Amino acid sequence: MPSQARQQRPTEPSKPTKPTKPTTPTQPIKQTEPADRDDQLRAFYRDMVLVRRFEERAARAYTEALIGGYCHLNLGEEAAVVGLMSALKPTDYLFTNYREHGYAIMRGIDPSRVMAELYGRVDGVSKGWGGSMHMFDVSHRLLGGYGIVGGQLPIATGAALAIDYRGGDEIVMCTLGDGTTAIGAFHESLNIAALWNLPIVYVIVNNGLGMGMTVAKSSAEPNLYKRGAAYRMESARVDGMDPLAVYEAAEKAIAVARGGRPYLLEVVTERLKGHSVVDPAKYRSAEEVERLKSEDPVQHLAEKLLANGVFDEPGLAKVEEEVAAVVTNAAAYAAKSPHPEVGTLFDYTYATAVPNDSRRLPGEPLFEPEPYPATPETAAPVTGASA
Amino acid sequence: MTTKTYRQALHDTLRAEMLRDDSVFLMGEEIGVFEGSYKITAGLLKEFGEKRVRDTPIAEEGFAGVAIGAAMLGLRPVVEMMTINFSMLALDQIVNHAAKIYGMFGGQASVPLVIRTPGGGGQQLGATHSQNIELFYAFVPGMKVVAPSTPADAKALLLAAIRDNDPVLFLENLALYNTKGEVPDEDVPAEIGRAAITRPGRDLTLIGYSRMAHVAAEVAADLAEAEGLDIEVIDLRSLRPLDRGTVIESVKRTHAAVILEDDWLTYGIGAEVAASISDGAFDSLDAPVRRVAMAEVPLPYSKPLETAALPSREDAITAIRQTLRAVGRRTIPAGVTQP
């Protein structure tokens, strides 16, 4: 299923860093009965279609100026998103970057609230304060949504420290893009996590491009999962276009983390469109554009499920119908949700109220000027005075 | 009350808060085995163990962010940045993350984080190790910045910072660590966001924070004794929020103000204080607001050059005399009492 080009993007074939370690991504750690497997694949497919249609709806809303700011979509990464999120327990924590709508939905957050956040409304997951890049929901343990490349890495590492500090059995998953492996905080975070045996899985979602910069041009070691070796951290690469492979690789990584060791997982995927909604991706060659046409994970899974008899055509159509209703409903909900009141502007500067916190709007003076002593002459209006 | 150094007050407060609350823990470079570059954390590793006194790798951005994440999950990390100069390596985590997380996510998670760090020059440490860049943090909504000048305030403000649910930059100063003062035995946190009038007076308002609040208090006492001048001293204590009200009400009484600051003058903390006085006490001023600040150079290693660049007691006294002259009030010779 994965094309030759994507297989070849890494300079070496996929293999685990430590062949002697128990399982590889292609060997699921728990045996799944065929019937269960079919149910799982059906669920994966439905979820992937939901992410796909949600993102398409978001792109449309963006062109209709209903969404502002930057808007980065998970188009092409649906198998990675769904596989990874399916492996987490509800009590586990997720930290991710600015390409996160799909992750938010797959954590179980109502798509309507995700769309409302894109619209900047009060019913959005971050109450309209975050937007596309800053989704956050404590109850679903999505702890952001970070717009600064790699900003989430040290923070996620600290969340893992807090779990370890309290002796909890949750883990942290921290996703990042391929370009993020070049920043200093990547090294600092992985080093600390490995030194302190923290329960965290770092997932590099390698879609091959920063904005337009290729992995080969930004990383001296383009086999990104190999960076784990510098920290004696177990690591692996998996085909990110196959949701089951991603799920199984994530389950294995999570098991390692739950055992008290960090893990580095590289998920090789594709970004089918531009870096963000407004990017026409003109830096891609004609061959690359042609190749991407056959790199649609949703389409691939549909074909596979039809061929295996897991779905028939009416079954696929029913999924589309159900998902369309969810997405339409989400857009309607978002459009109906009110904008935040201007009076709430100063509600979230500080969690602990303190005296002398400034609550001044731009046109307001710090202090009302003392009026000039009123005498009969000066009391007259300055302008519009009549004879 | 117990007399102790600023250093001891910090140490004792950290220890007391760790005993009081299991979620308080310390992180930083060389704070454990080495006991801290300035020995604030001496003995704490031995008492509390590696879980709560964590020596970090040299990775300011990394461990600042780790502290943020731990704080989001309810712990109360107290991070030591060896000096404020090194905190710039963590600027992204402090400014783009610690200060933003509460607001950017709609108030869903707070960041109860303290970053302790000393600023200040005068130790011949050269240009990169002698800066006063607290302004960088005081500029940012979402941050709180406090700057104690006495051992008592070191305790009261550290208690407040640790118990606060927001990120607090806690500014220390190399020149203050060995200063002594009375420290209350009971644990009473200060209120972040309040300045203190440390000496009431009628002739002029002298404003400072951190080391320069200490200098201001000394200068005011000396001029009172030598010349009978009645100077009001304000210790800002909190740089964000800034207590403009206390400064303005004082200037309305004294009609003149001199600001002492260890940072650079242009765009510095004093600029904000002077602008605030103009906003709130314009009609009360009898002379321009004067600022005494560091010379605008990378601080040299050479002792005479370093001394020349740093604001001194003499610089403060000169500025006070010139301001009072501009007011039209003569300074009174020693030995003559005011009518």
Question: pLDDT tens-digit profile of B107-156?
Answer: 999 999 999 999 998 999 999 999 999 999 999 999 999 999 999 999 99
Report the pLDDT averaged over residues A298-327. 97
Sign for the pseudo-dihedral over CA of B140, B144, B148, B151: negative
Give B-chain residues touching A191 at CB under 8 angstroms: 57, 59, 62
B window 81-110, beta carbon within 8 A of A = 92-93, 96-97, 101-110
**SS3 category, B296:** coil
Using only C-alpha atoms, chain B has a radius of gyration, in whole angstroms, of: 20
In a mutational test of the B interface, the residue from A93, A96, A165, A197 whose CB has the highest number of chain B CBs within 10 Å is: A165
Pair of tokens at residue A314: 């009416």
How far A113 CA sits from the closest chain B CA (Å)?
13
Residues of A in contact with B192 (CB under 8 A): 354
DSSP conformation class of B282? G
Residue A4 has pLDDT above 70, yes or no: no
What's the CA gap between A245 and A79, in Å, rounded?
Answer: 9
SS3 assignment, position B222: helix
From the candidates B108, B169, B238, B283, which should be mutated to test the interface with A, based on the most A CB atoms within 10 A? B108
How many domains does chain A divide into?
1
Residues in chain A: 387
d(CA A147, CA A131): 10
Asked if B99 and B140 count as a contact pair (C-beta separation under 8 A), the reply is yes
Paired tokens of B266: 């242009």
Of the candidates B69, B110, B111, which has its C-beta nearest A154's C-beta?
A: B69
Cα A131 from Cα B212, distance rounded (Å): 43
User: Which among A80, A73, A122 is positioned nearest to A98, based on CA atoms?
Assistant: A73
* CATH T-level topology, domain B196-327: Rossmann fold (3.40.50)
Kindly state the average pLDDT of the residues B79-106: 98
**Confidence check: pLDDT of A384 > 60:** no
Return the CATH number at A114: 3.40.50.970
- The residue type at A376: P
What distance in Å separates the CA atoms of residue A135 and residue A114, rounded to the nearest whole number? 8
SS (H, E, C) chain A: CCCHHHHHCCCCCCCCCCCCCCCCCCCCCCCCCHHHHHHHHHHHHHHHHHHHHHHHHHHHHHHCCCCCCCCCCCCCCHHHHHHHHHHCCCCCEEEECCCCHHHHHHCCCCHHHHHHHHCCCCCCCCCCCCCCCCCCEHHHCEEEECCCCCCHHHHHHHHHHHHHHHCCCCCEEEEEEHHHHHCHHHHHHHHHHHHCCCCEEEEEEECCECCCCEHHHHCCCCCHHHHHHHHCCEEEEEECCCHHHHHHHHHHHHHHHHCCCCEEEEEECCCCCCCCCCCCCCCCCHHHHHHHCCCCHHHHHHHHHHHCCCCCHHHHHHHHHHHHHHHHHHHHHHHHCCCCCHHHCCCCCCCCCCCCCCCCCCCCCCCCCCCCCCCCCCCCCCCCCCC
Task: Enumerate the β-bridge partners of residue B115.
Answer: B79, B169
Out of A154, A165, A366, the one facing B64 most closely (by C-beta) is A154
Q: Is the peptide bond before B200 cis (omega within 30 degrees of 0)?
A: no
Q: Which of B11, B97, B129, B214 is catalytic?
A: B129
CA distance B149 to B156: 11
B50 and chain A in contact, CB less than 8 A: no
Q: Is B232's Cβ below 8 Å from some Cβ in A? A: no
User: Directed axis angle between helix A34-63 and helix A243-258, to 10°?
Assistant: 100
Architecture label for domain B2-183: 3-Layer(aba) Sandwich (3.40)
Share of chain A above pLDDT 70, in %: 88
Size of interface A-B (CB pairs under 8 A): 180
Q: How far apart are CA B112 and CA B76, in angstroms?
A: 6
Which chain B residues are closer than 8 Å to A144 by Cβ? 101, 105
Q: What is the pLDDT of residue A370?
A: 74
Closest to B154 measured CA to CA, from B111, B183, B122: B183
Q: Give residue A92's pLDDT band: very low, low, confident or very high (50, 70, 90).
A: very high
Q: pLDDT value at position A9? A: 59
In a domain, A281, yes or no: yes
Distance CA B251, CA B238 (A): 18
pLDDT at position A42 is 96
Question: Per the CB < 8 Å rule, is A126 touching B104?
Answer: yes
Q: Which domain holds residue A327?
A: 4-342
Distance from the A45 Cα atom to the nearest Cα atom in chain B, whole angstroms: 31
Indicate whether B319 pLDDT > 50: yes
Residues 21-50 of A with CB under 8 A from B: none
Q: What is the pTM of this model?
A: 0.93
Is pLDDT above 60 for A29? no
Using the Cβ of B72 and the Cβ atoms of chain A, whether some distance falls under 8 Å is answered with: yes
Q: Which chain B residues are closer than 8 Å to A138 by Cβ?
A: 108-109
Query: What pLDDT does B121 receive?
Result: 86
Q: Which B-chain residues 126-185 have CB contacts (< 8 A) with chain A?
A: 141-142, 144, 164-166
Q: Does A141 touch chain B if contact means CB atoms closer than 8 Å?
A: no
Q: Is residue B292 pLDDT above 70, yes or no? A: yes
At residue A381, the pLDDT reads 55
Look at residue B185 and tell me whether its pLDDT is greater than 50: yes
In chain B, which among 255-284 make CB contacts under 8 A with chain A?
276, 279-280, 282-283
A372: in domain: no
- pLDDT surpasses 60 at B339: no
Please confirm, yes or no, whether B60 is among the known catalytic residues: yes
Q: Return d(Cα A246, Cα B268) in angstroms, integer.
A: 53
Tokens of A204: 């590099």
Instruction: List chain A residues with CB under 8 Å of B67.
Output: 158
- The C-alpha of B277 sits at a distance from chain A's nearest C-alpha, in angstroms, of 10
Q: How far from B144 is each of A356, B157, B249, CA to CA, in Å?
A: 11, 11, 23
Interface touch A348/B106, C-beta < 8 Å? yes
Q: CA distances (Å), B285 to each of B258, B282, B290, in order?
A: 12, 6, 11
B-facing residues of A in 91-130 (CB < 8 A) are 93, 95, 124-130
Q: Binning pLDDT at 50, 70 and 90, where does residue A1 land?
A: very low
Does A183 contact chain B (CB < 8 Å)?
no
The DSSP bridge pattern shows strands B180-183 and B168-173 to be unpaired
pLDDT digits (tens, 9 = 90+) for B4-60: 999 999 999 999 999 999 999 999 999 999 999 999 999 999 999 999 999 999 999
Band (pLDDT 50/70/90 cuts) for residue A26 is very low
Please, which residues have CB within 8 angstroms of residue A64's CB and are 6 or more apart in sequence?
none
Whether residue A159 lies inside any domain: the answer is: yes
Residue A136 counted as domain residue: yes
What is residue B40's DSSP assignment?
Answer: T
User: Is the pLDDT score of A197 beyond 60?
Assistant: yes
pLDDT-based confidence at residue A34 (cuts at 50, 70, 90): confident
Domain residue spans of chain B: 2-183, 196-327
* Euclidean distance between CA atoms A55 and A60, whole angstroms: 9
Q: Give residue A10's pLDDT.
A: 52
- Smallest CA–CA distance, residue A361 to chain B, in Å, is 14
pLDDT of residue A30: 52
Please tell me the distance in Å from B112's CA to the nearest CA on chain A: 9
CA–CA dist A380, A349 (Å, integer): 42
pLDDT digits (tens, 9 = 90+) for A355-377: 999 999 999 999 887 777 666 55
Inside any domain, residue A351: no
| Beta strands across the sheet bearing B114-119 | B53-55, B24-28, B76-80, B114-119, B168-173, B144-146, B238-240
Q: What DSSP string runs through B145-194?
A: EE---SHHHHHHHHHHHHHSSS-EEEEEEGGGTT-EEEE-SS-----TT-
Q: Which of B60, B134, B172, B272 is catalytic?
A: B60
A184 touches chain B (CB under 8 A): yes
Of B70, B141, B276, the CB nearest to A366: B276
Q: Mutate which of A367, A370, A372 to test chain B, going by most B C-beta atoms within 10 A? A: A367
Residues 6 or more apart from A130 whose CB is under 8 A from it?
A: A117, A124, A136, A145, B104, B105, B106
Stated length of chain B: 339
Task: State residue A28's pLDDT score.
Answer: 42
